[in-house]
């Protein structure tokens, strides 16, 4: 009887350890408007990525990116979309980025891009936790 209780106790302890070792991993968009986006990472796995649109940039505006990461690295890429979209002409999801920033800690980046609509491609380069904000502001 004592042997069964000891085995049961060991099984319960191993199960508890396994559950605490498996922390949740989230990587996605917390806010998405035409002029502001917030990426949220909670223990995000390396190579996790997503793509979302659209960020609208008018003449005389620039993109400002601010990182608030407690760990890891996130790459942010903005990809221009065609002015006239239809089912026959979809945006090139693998297209070359107009603006790219690789962010760690409290890094920041900014840049002027041509007026238009942009898709955001975010990739977790190193396991990350924190947020990254992308805003369209007057230049």
What pTM value is reported for the model?
0.77
Condensed to tens digits (0 to 9), the pLDDT of residues 4-57 reads 443 343 444 344 444 444 568 899 999 999 999 999 999 999 999 999 988 999
Tell me the domains of the chain and their CATH numbers. Answer: 24-138 (2.60.120.380)
- Between CA 79 and CA 25 the distance in angstroms is 26
Average pLDDT in the chain: 83
What sign does the dihedral 51-89-118-101 (CA atoms) show? positive
Residue with tokens 């990116």: 65
**What is the mean pLDDT of the segment spanning 90-104?**
80
For residue 102, the SS3 value is: strand
Alpha carbon 84 to chain centroid, angstroms: 27
Residue 56: the pLDDT is 95
- Between CA 139 and CA 122 the distance in angstroms is 23
Residue 13: the pLDDT is 39
Residue 23: the pLDDT is 62
């Amino acid at each position: 009887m004592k042997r069964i209780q000891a085995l049961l106790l060991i099984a319960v302890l191993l199960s508890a350890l396994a559950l605490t070792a498996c922390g949740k991993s989230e990587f996605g968009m917390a806010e998405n408007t035409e002029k502001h986006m917030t990426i949220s990472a909670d223990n995000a796995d390396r190579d996790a990525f997503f793509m979302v649109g659209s960020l609208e940039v008018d003449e005389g505006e620039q993109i400002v990116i601010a990182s608030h990461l407690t760990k890891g690295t996130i790459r942010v890429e903005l990809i221009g979309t065609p002015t006239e979209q239809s089912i026959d002409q979809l945006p090139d999801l693998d297209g070359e980025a107009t603006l790219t920033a690789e962010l760690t800690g409290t890094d920041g980046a900014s840049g002027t891009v041509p007026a238009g609509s942009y898709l955001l491609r975010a990739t977790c380069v190193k396991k990350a936790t924190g947020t990254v904000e992308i805003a369209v502001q007057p230049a």
